[in-house]
Structure 1
Amino acid sequence: MVKKIITSFALFLISLLCFSQDYNADMKVTRDDLKSTSYAKDSIANALIIYDYGNAFIDRETFMLTCQIKQKVKILKKEGIDLGVIEVKLYKGKSSSEKIEDIRGTTYNLENNEIVKTQLKPSAIFEEENEKYTLVKFVLPNLKVGSVFTISYETRSRFITKYQPWYFQSSNPVLYSEYNTSIPGNYKYHVKLVGGFKLDVNESKIEHNCLEVARGGSADCVVSKYVMKNIPAYKPEGYTTTDFNYISRIEYELNEILYFDGRVDKISKTWKDVDKELKTDANFGRQVSKKSLVKKVLPKDISDISDKLEKAKAIYQFVQNNYKWNEKYDRYDVSVKQTVKEKIGNAFEINLLLENLLTNEGYTVYPIMISTRANGLPTKIYPVLTDFNYLILKVTIDGEDYYLDATESYLFFGELPYRCLNQYGRLMDFEDGSYWEDIKLDEYSTISHKVSLKAFSDDEFKGLIGSKFSRYHAHNPKNTYQQNSISYKENKANNYKNIIIENHDVIDTGTDSENFEETINFSQEPELIADKIYYNPFIVKFFEINPFKLQERTYPIDFGYKDSYTYILNIDLGEKLKVVELPEQENLILPNNTGSFVFNVDLTDNKLTLIFKLKFDKIIYEPEYYNYLKMFMSKVVKTQNNTVIVFEKT
């Protein structure tokens, strides 16, 4: 056994050596680069970025932030040819604009075993202008499957506060990525490595007197080198937040500038500084807990409610029913007064209106600044207010905490919209100081279908489906039904293609409950061959296809909430049917008991009971779970699609 393992490991090393000879991780294009037709670690890749190089520094003469870019790319599939269209954004300021210089590009092809080079022509370089930036676009010539192209250019910028970030990862695999920086000691940056990959090289040293100014002033530089190798492509897939949370890169945020004359300019501030500013901010702090903003807004019958929780729910529903969200998130130009007057506002205005009404009735309420799932996670390293694009509330009633958002009419008291489920936010306590608040959801969101089939008669079943959706699974049906109940029922009828709906009743409790329930009476003609019935018992399917299809996933699987699905089918066989064949049971568990799937069919006293239960016990699964989830869901989908019970008519 030991010998077998050693032999396998040796073969693995040999394969790596062979692979490393296929492509040369530098700017020189070789015959081997052109002959290679695939990338062993990603067989479906459209292209391979063989070499990606950046060098950013402050120029000694112009004091401009300069960035030199070099890249070598192999086209593996037709879709990869699009990579030969290069776009560079050059930002404009009030007194300065970024520049690009020395654009070069070459396409290499192998023709009759000879390397043929085609140079980028100036006529293939274009510029598009708008108010914020100039878009420079250039197109590599003579690209086709099998080509290798190289590009290089240099950008220059006076916007020192925006030190050039570097993306190690892209939508295609990267063989080698290197970023070099030289940062003068009088510029203090927060440096942040984003993504799940570690650096293969992380080196820094001091270069003395890298910058010199008049009157003998000088600065030392921190010279750094960062390298990543064999970086998988970032491929988007469901059950995640924004790509920006996970694509591997290095980012820079200017903290302070030390001028040569001794002045210090603090750019990045502490949360204590930010709290102080926001407390007096006209768009935020001055809109919080102000009785004058909501004077005589709340009806007396709500103010007179004695039960604290019931009163809070009534206030919440009052805002939901009388004020409309304009689907904007803006944190600027916030006016609760205007929202009261016009009955419409953005997320900050709607929820600050709710905060004022609750506070005015004696509740302890805290605004929480968050970033939506589509906006990315806010950094915890230092305050960056632009990371936050949304506001929710936290209210404590009789020792119980509730998170509130009144923007959506279908939300139950204590629920947040799905867009807000992004792990944590910054709770703003203007008396004792702000702090990070984890947005925890311990309850499961569930879907359950209970199907009862009555005795088989005239070659058809008669049945009843009782469905219940809770919490986040209830949001969509609640919202859709409230918008148009007739359309909701019509769509439901169209979705159930294998049954005929004879009656459809909906129990819509609106914001009085976190549930949505409905019952459907139906008839169904099963597949009948001779005297046998071949019956797929899943009238309702939770997953028609496997949502996990990637060869490899490098970022977490984020459901947003804990999930549970239940399907129970009861058939009274009566005297006209008997069971010929039953499916086998299934019982699967995800690693560390983080999920389970149970499928069982029981036949007792001529009554058949089928039970299907699926649970996900984690909100976020680390990438290491991906292959397990993929196989797990493959079994779930197969069970729903391929299960057959065979009956025989008697």
Structure 2
Amino acid sequence: MTRFFTAFIFLLNLTVYSQEKYHSYTFDVKPEEITSNTFSKDSVANAFVIYEKGNSYVDPEDFKLKSEVICKLKILNREAFNQATIEIPLYHNDKNSESVNKIEAKTYNLENGKMVVSKLSRKDIHEEDYNEHYKLVKFALPNIKEGSVITYSYELSLPFMFNYQPWDFQSDIPKLYSEYNTSIPANWHYHIKLIGGKKLSVNESKKIDNCLTTYNGGAADCLIAKYVMKDIPAFTEEEYMTTKSNYLARIEYELKTFQDFNGMKNNYAKTWETVDTELKKEKSIGRQLTKSLDVHEFLPDSIINETQQLKKAKGIYAFVQNNYTWNGKYSIYNDDLSVKDLIEEKTGNVSSINILLHNLMKASNIDVKPVILSTRNNGFITEIFPVISEFNYLMIQTNINGKSYFLDATGKYLAFGQIPYRCLNNKGRLLDFENGSSWINIEPMSKSFSMIDTHLIINENNQITGTIKKRATGYFGLPLKEHYFSNESNYIETLESTLPQVELTNYKALTKAKNSTFFQESYDVNYHTDKINGVIYLNPFLDKFTKENPFKLQERSYPIDFGFKQNYIYQFKINLGENYSLLEKPEDINIALPNGEGLLKFSSVYADNSIQLLLKFSLNSPIYPSEYYPYLKEIFKKLVDIQQNSIFVLKPNS
């Protein structure tokens, strides 16, 4: 029977694989690609790219960059019908615009054993404005069915050579084959970046003489390159990651130099020395940072007359926090409002608010410098050469009594020295217009803790009552402060809804300042638990740190970025009184991540007719490489299981 079952499974797998015939070497569609209805490389995929190819070159007629794109894609089920709607973004400014032409698209189906081809009609190609700089050309392929294979092709005409056309090897669906061919004249010299950490199957290049000529006899050689990736998995977003553009496998170009056919050379690749000089002269950064302010026109005497620098700095910080409002806009330039305008309007972008903070600190003789960075949603910064367009945020750093503090006055609930979570993105550039800028690590100043302390008692009426005290510091306390101080009644209602087995009374918020480093609260509870034949089944985790495992993928190829180190402590004590004693308790657990990078410890003791429980969970690194993913997935699974399924069985003494 065992041999029969093994043979059956082998034949079943052979049948499945024999059904899969996808030709990832050609744009042509074969009948077997339509009849194939599975994808063994990714069993949960709803669609995948069989073959795609791009070809970019400079047109010798008009010297515009042309980029040809072809794609063959398989639709496995109805969930992927949206893949048959294609959107092509086109950039434009006041002088030039990108365009697309030669659009062709076809849908291939089998009907009565014959291949039927449905072609895209020109009337089904639409254009719409997306924002002030982009429009979308959209079309939906006709006659889409489960099992359809679609093909489409188009040609882009791009007048902007500053950024050579990039290529995405990876997307939200798997790809069997992706190829990109480029022809770059020697006039243009680019930094070429392969992003995403995946390896190329083919990486070839060669030089072609005189590939581009002009009417007056000028000529340029071309670098011809071919890049190929195969069997590219779909990129699936999950919790605890920065923007996916940091990890998608793709190739990008940044122009270093351009030399025209008359020999004139323009250098676009700058050094940090030249960038520092430009930023110093820039009217919306450097010139704003050097504005002199009379602190008597802004600050109360209590702050001006403060002799201790740290107290004065905290006073200035709180003053800007409370009197100026961030409008939600990101930029290192305060284009929309100067510091003078901000003073009048009381609202501005992140740069204008923090430049005001900088200038007030400086006018108060406090050592302060600006820091520019890129937020988590904006992507990582290129470190090997300056790309100023990658920066979208400005905050400041101050040094007081030998200690450094990052300050950002855009958040009303941020504590002094607390970096907004959106800014926890590895590094920033510290601007020093006298001595030169330098890279600086953007790291939290202190650890973040979430602590819950629960004390219960079974009284003479066999009711379980007690008190819960909670303290959340750092990034755990920040959203709680914001919720509570903005709407106290809604906060308490939300808290009650998360504790369905608890009757909550006598709520107290013990934190009074909204920019405190912590949020502390307490409340009394009446706990309703399961009781069968007088036996109490008690889950001690009235409140839980997390209710589900955030990690659900089979594997993850990009880092797990929590942003900050995390520490959780849950303490529980219950006095069983005279009527109950312990019959059964859950087993103790002690799990560690490799190299001491994290710990989960759960233990309980029974003494003097009381139960005491301690849960500790710590993540000792803000960022973990993808190799840690299975360990993190398992330790979070165990954390959820402990909180949901740890039961103390209490028996009546009579």
Same fold, TM-score > 0.5, yes or no: yes
Note if contact 1:317-1:511 (Cα within 8 Å) is conserved in structure 2: no
- Measured in 2, the distance between the counterparts of 1:15 and 1:251 equals 41
TM-score (norm 1): 0.94
Aligned to 2:352: 349
- Measured in 2, the distance between the counterparts of 1:14 and 1:206 equals 46
- Measured in 1, the distance between the counterparts of 2:105 and 2:399 equals 62
User: Structure 2 regions of 5+ residues with no counterpart?
Assistant: 1-10
1:406-555 counterparts in 2 under 5 A?
Answer: 406-441=409-444, 443-510=446-513, 513-555=516-558
CA drift of 1:129 comes to 4.7
Aligned to 1:165: 166
Q: Is 1:369 aligned to residue 398 of structure 2?
A: no
Inter-CA distance 46–603: structure 2 relative to 1 (3 Å threshold): same
CA drift of 1:73 comes to 0.5
- Measured in 2, the distance between the counterparts of 1:19 and 1:63 equals 47
- Deviations 1:529-570 (CA, angstroms, capped at 9, x unpaired): 111111111100111111111233222111110001111110
Aligned to 1:238: 239
Amino acid at match of 2:463: E
- Measured in 2, the distance between the counterparts of 1:515 and 1:213 equals 68
Note if contact 1:500-1:523 (Cα within 8 Å) is conserved in structure 2: yes
Where 2:109 maps in the other structure, the secondary structure is strand
1:568-583 counterparts in 2 under 5 A?
Answer: 568-583=571-586
Inter-CA distance 394–19: structure 2 relative to 1 (3 Å threshold): farther
CA drift of 1:168 comes to 0.5
Comparing 414-423 and 100-109, the one that deviates more: 100-109
CA drift of 1:178 comes to 0.6
Aligned to 1:58: 58
Q: How many percent identity over aligned positions? A: 43
Note if contact 1:73-1:150 (Cα within 8 Å) is conserved in structure 2: yes
Inter-CA distance 598–210: structure 2 relative to 1 (3 Å threshold): same
Note if contact 1:319-1:354 (Cα within 8 Å) is conserved in structure 2: yes
- Deviations 1:381-403 (CA, angstroms, capped at 9, x unpaired): 32222211111111111111111
1:171-210 counterparts in 2 under 5 A?
Answer: 171-210=172-211
- Measured in 2, the distance between the counterparts of 1:314 and 1:509 equals 17
1:324-343 counterparts in 2 under 5 A?
Answer: 324-330=325-331, 331-343=334-346
- Measured in 1, the distance between the counterparts of 2:335 and 2:95 equals 25
Amino acid at match of 1:118: S
- Measured in 1, the distance between the counterparts of 2:550 and 2:343 equals 44
CA drift of 1:321 comes to 2.1
Aligned to 2:3: none
Query: What is the total number of aligned residue pairs between the two structures?
Result: 640
Note if contact 1:334-1:348 (Cα within 8 Å) is conserved in structure 2: no
Comparing 507-516 and 639-648, the one that deviates more: 507-516
- Deviations 1:112-153 (CA, angstroms, capped at 9, x unpaired): 443322222223222235753442222211111111111111
Which of these residues, 593, 596, 620, is aligned with residue 593 of structure 1? 596
- Measured in 2, the distance between the counterparts of 1:150 and 1:190 equals 32
- Measured in 1, the distance between the counterparts of 2:116 and 2:599 equals 58
Comparing 149-158 and 482-491, the one that deviates more: 482-491
Comparing 215-224 and 315-324, the one that deviates more: 315-324
Comparing 511-520 and 540-549, the one that deviates more: 511-520
Note if contact 2:21-2:36 (Cα within 8 Å) is conserved in structure 1: no
Note if contact 2:25-2:51 (Cα within 8 Å) is conserved in structure 1: yes
Note if contact 2:48-2:75 (Cα within 8 Å) is conserved in structure 1: yes
Amino acid at match of 1:88: I
> What is the alpha-carbon root mean square deviation over aligned residues?
2.2
1:33-44 counterparts in 2 under 5 A?
Answer: 33-44=33-44
- Measured in 1, the distance between the counterparts of 2:542 and 2:552 equals 25
- Measured in 1, the distance between the counterparts of 2:19 and 2:290 equals 65
Amino acid at match of 1:544: K
Inter-CA distance 504–341: structure 2 relative to 1 (3 Å threshold): same
- Deviations 1:351-410 (CA, angstroms, capped at 9, x unpaired): 111111111121111100111111112222322222111111111111111111111121
Aligned to 2:8: none
CA drift of 1:457 comes to 3.5
Where 2:476 maps in the other structure, the secondary structure is helix
Comparing 20-29 and 233-242, the one that deviates more: 20-29
CA drift of 1:88 comes to 1.2
- Measured in 1, the distance between the counterparts of 2:465 and 2:477 equals 27
Inter-CA distance 370–76: structure 2 relative to 1 (3 Å threshold): same
Inter-CA distance 554–268: structure 2 relative to 1 (3 Å threshold): same
- Deviations 1:601-637 (CA, angstroms, capped at 9, x unpaired): 2112211111111111111111222222112211111
- Measured in 2, the distance between the counterparts of 1:262 and 1:416 equals 49
CA drift of 1:588 comes to 1.2
- Measured in 1, the distance between the counterparts of 2:114 and 2:593 equals 54
CA drift of 1:294 comes to 4.7
- Measured in 2, the distance between the counterparts of 1:14 and 1:370 equals 53
- Measured in 2, the distance between the counterparts of 1:326 and 1:98 equals 32
Inter-CA distance 377–122: structure 2 relative to 1 (3 Å threshold): same
- Deviations 1:201-239 (CA, angstroms, capped at 9, x unpaired): 111111110101123210001111111111111111111
- Measured in 1, the distance between the counterparts of 2:291 and 2:135 equals 45
- Measured in 1, the distance between the counterparts of 2:514 and 2:134 equals 46
Note if contact 1:50-1:73 (Cα within 8 Å) is conserved in structure 2: yes
Aligned to 2:6: none
- Measured in 2, the distance between the counterparts of 1:208 and 1:293 equals 65
CA drift of 1:15 comes to 12
Aligned to 2:73: 73
Aligned to 2:627: 624
Task: List, as ranges, runs of 4+ consecutive aligned residues in structure 1 with deviation greater than 4 Å.
Answer: 13-23
1:43-192 counterparts in 2 under 5 A?
Answer: 43-129=43-129, 132-192=133-193
- Measured in 2, the distance between the counterparts of 1:499 and 1:152 equals 61
Note if contact 1:180-1:226 (Cα within 8 Å) is conserved in structure 2: yes
Note if contact 2:295-2:304 (Cα within 8 Å) is conserved in structure 1: no
- Measured in 1, the distance between the counterparts of 2:434 and 2:337 equals 22
Amino acid at match of 1:253: E
Aligned to 2:227: 226
Amino acid at match of 2:582: V
Inter-CA distance 431–584: structure 2 relative to 1 (3 Å threshold): same
- Deviations 1:10-43 (CA, angstroms, capped at 9, x unpaired): x9x9999979855434212223322322222221
- Measured in 1, the distance between the counterparts of 2:290 and 2:96 equals 43
Note if contact 2:419-2:444 (Cα within 8 Å) is conserved in structure 1: no
Note if contact 2:105-2:151 (Cα within 8 Å) is conserved in structure 1: yes
CA drift of 1:109 comes to 1.7
Where 1:516 maps in the other structure, the secondary structure is strand
Inter-CA distance 291–442: structure 2 relative to 1 (3 Å threshold): closer
Note if contact 1:413-1:511 (Cα within 8 Å) is conserved in structure 2: no
- Deviations 1:424-447 (CA, angstroms, capped at 9, x unpaired): 111110001111111123632110
Where 1:510 maps in the other structure, the secondary structure is coil
- Measured in 1, the distance between the counterparts of 2:648 and 2:52 equals 57
- Measured in 1, the distance between the counterparts of 2:360 and 2:86 equals 53
Inter-CA distance 14–556: structure 2 relative to 1 (3 Å threshold): farther
- Measured in 2, the distance between the counterparts of 1:247 and 1:23 equals 24
- Measured in 2, the distance between the counterparts of 1:647 and 1:46 equals 50
Amino acid at match of 2:465: K
Note if contact 2:447-2:564 (Cα within 8 Å) is conserved in structure 1: yes
Q: Is 1:358 aligned to residue 372 of structure 2?
A: no
Note if contact 2:413-2:515 (Cα within 8 Å) is conserved in structure 1: no
Amino acid at match of 2:618: K
- Measured in 1, the distance between the counterparts of 2:36 and 2:447 equals 50
Aligned to 1:3: none
Comparing 367-376 and 36-45, the one that deviates more: 36-45
